[in-house]
Amino acid sequence: MPLVFTLAARNLFHDRLRFVATLVGIVFSMILVTVQMGLYLSFARMVTTMIDHAGADLWIMPSGTKSFEDPSLLDEQQRFRALSVDGVANAVPVVIGFAQWRMPSGRTTPVFIVGSDFRSGGLSPWNLVAGSLDDLEIPGAVAVDSSYLERLGVAGLDARAEIRDQKAQVMALTSGIRSFTTTPYVFAPLERARAYTGTPTNKATYLLVHLSPAADLEHVRSRLLADSSDIEVLKPAEFSDRSRSFWLFGTGAGAALMAGALLGVIVGTVIVAQTLYSSTKDHINEFATLRAIGSSGRYIHKVIIWQALLSAVIGFCIASGVGFLIVKETADTALPITMTPGLTLALFALTVVMCVLSAIAAIVQVIRIDPAMVFTR
């Protein structure tokens, strides 16, 4: 092991109280960043979850639609126009909208209705853990997510409720389909969804376009747009980007999460910088001795950088352990904190960068060191 590393490590561990303070700074900062970024990631995923699972090649929507939850309506005629375009295999209507769910107890709670034709490539519920799509053909049948049962005031399968004074019976349960607005999604066949949301029978919110195998997507898109100025035709990725952009940045929610993460990084940097600076100040005699015996400035910087990196690695390990527990504890909540390998690597890199940046103040201090001071101390 290089002696420069040994010196850095021993100096770091020698000042135990200061080392603990450094670790607390890093851990606090990284947990804050983990939570903020985990929420951001979770939020970003939940915002586009319907789009990502629809399986459409193109989405037809009213002009100016900002996100999946935008309740503007298309005329049914658009569907027939779409079906007349070469290369379009199917155009399936989707109806969405908010409604009131009346529990058996009489209390109500808002729900978000998602209605489509499940048998012809519509937006069907996924991750079914009880019941089936066939069960949703029964009059009044709906599918809800198991994590919202308590919120909906029902026990499980076969439970009954009312939506817009019409019968609703839970005939299928999904897992992990959660809404970032925390309003439960309720899946229903198209016509029933229209009834639940008060949507006229000749209207739909979206048309999910499925292309024929040999069709050229861009060509079909231009044809779909050719005769209509009041619609937009987006690829799923474009619609996802638009939804994410609206919810994360248009509403300020994403910016708030980012600001929280930035605050965490700033707090961590200041704490680590302060402790590294005071540690360097305490060891200034040793750094002067190193300079006196002929070490280069680079060698001394290496000692400080190693200290910063060691602090980063140990602090990150502790923070990621705590972060893992937080992720586990929030997994089944309305807004889970998501952690991915990519985010973990990014957080590690951020910790390292934060600690190395923190070392700058200490390095600036030793750059000015006068080796002759060893004669006076």
Partner 1 sequence: MTEPLAEAADIVKFLGSGAGQVQALKGISLTLSGGELTLLMGPSGSGKTTLLSIIGCMLRPTRGAVRVCGKSTVDLGPEEAAKLRRDHIGFVFQSYHLFPTLTAAENVQLVFDVRGESSARALVKAREALATVGLSHKLKSFPLELSGGEQQRVAIARAIAGDAAVILADEPTASLDSENGQAIMRILADIAKEPGRTVLVVSHDPRILPFADRVVYMEDGHIVREERTGAGLSEKSEVERAVIGRRKR
Residues in Cβ contact with 336 at an 8 Å cutoff, skipping those fewer than 6 apart: 42, 178, 327, 330
Question: In terms of CB distance, is 35 or 290 closer to partner 1?
Answer: 290
Q: Which of residues 313-372 bind partner 1 (CB under 8 A)?
A: 370-372
> Residue-wise over 147-182: b if at least 16 C-beta within 10 A, else e?
bbbebbbbeeeebebbbeeeebbbbbbbeebbbbbe
| Residues β-bridged to residue 101 | 109, 163
What three-state secondary structure class fits 163?
strand
By CB under 8 A, is residue 22 in contact with partner 1? no
Question: In terms of CB distance, is 1 or 214 closer to partner 1?
Answer: 1
| Residues β-bridged to residue 223 | none
Among residues 139, 293, 341, 342, the one that binds partner 1 under rule CB under 8 A: 293
Encoding tokens for residue 293?
């015996």
By CB under 8 A, is residue 281 in contact with partner 1? no
By CB under 8 A, is residue 375 in contact with partner 1? yes
> Residue-wise over 38-58: b if at least 16 C-beta within 10 A, else e?
bbbbbbbbbbbbbbeebebbb
- Which residue do the tokens 């209509």 mark? 228
Determine the Cα–Cα distance for residues 221 and 233; give it in Å rounded to an integer.
6
What three-state secondary structure class fits 212?
coil
Considering the complex, what minimum distance in angstroms separates the CB of residue 302 from partner 1? Answer: 10
Distance of CA 17 to the CA centre of its chain: 37
The number of residues that bind partner 1 (CB under 8 A) is 27
By CB under 8 A, is residue 377 in contact with partner 1? yes
Determine the Cα–Cα distance for residues 279 and 187; give it in Å rounded to an integer.
60
By CB under 8 A, is residue 292 in contact with partner 1? yes
Among residues 201, 212, 296, 340, the one that binds partner 1 under rule CB under 8 A: 296
Considering the complex, what minimum distance in angstroms separates the CB of residue 180 from partner 1? Answer: 51
By CB under 8 A, is residue 284 in contact with partner 1? no
Answer for the pair 236, 52: CB distance below 8 angstroms, yes or no: yes
Among residues 71, 200, 252, 297, the one that binds partner 1 under rule CB under 8 A: 297
Question: In terms of CB distance, is 12 or 85 closer to partner 1?
Answer: 12
Amino acid in the structure at residue 187: F
Question: In terms of CB distance, is 292 or 326 closer to partner 1?
Answer: 292
Amino acid in the structure at residue 346: A
Beta-carbon-side half-sphere exposure of residue 16 (alpha carbons within 13 Å): 0
Find the part of the chain contacting partner 1 (CB under 8 A) among 3-11, 258-266, 327-335, 345-353.
3-11
Q: What is the DSSP letter of 371?
A: G
By CB under 8 A, is residue 278 in contact with partner 1? no
Determine the Cα–Cα distance for residues 135 and 238; give it in Å rounded to an integer.
33
Question: In terms of CB distance, is 13 or 324 closer to partner 1?
Answer: 13
By CB under 8 A, is residue 11 in contact with partner 1? yes
Among residues 299, 314, 335, 352, the one that binds partner 1 under rule CB under 8 A: 299
Among residues 108, 228, 295, 365, the one that binds partner 1 under rule CB under 8 A: 295
What three-state secondary structure class fits 140?
coil
By CB under 8 A, is residue 305 in contact with partner 1? no
Considering the complex, what minimum distance in angstroms separates the CB of residue 24 from partner 1? Answer: 22
By CB under 8 A, is residue 17 in contact with partner 1? no
Question: In terms of CB distance, is 16 or 107 closer to partner 1?
Answer: 16
By CB under 8 A, is residue 234 in contact with partner 1? no
Answer for the pair 355, 309: CB distance below 8 angstroms, yes or no: yes
Question: In terms of CB distance, is 13 or 249 closer to partner 1?
Answer: 13
By CB under 8 A, is residue 289 in contact with partner 1? yes
What three-state secondary structure class fits 39?
helix
By CB under 8 A, is residue 10 in contact with partner 1? yes
Amino acid in the structure at residue 6: T
By CB under 8 A, is residue 250 in contact with partner 1? no
By CB under 8 A, is residue 218 in contact with partner 1? no
Answer for the pair 136, 143: CB distance below 8 angstroms, yes or no: yes
- The binding site for partner 1 (CB under 8 A) comprises 2-4, 6-7, 10-11, 14, 285-286, 289-297, 299, 370-372, 374-377
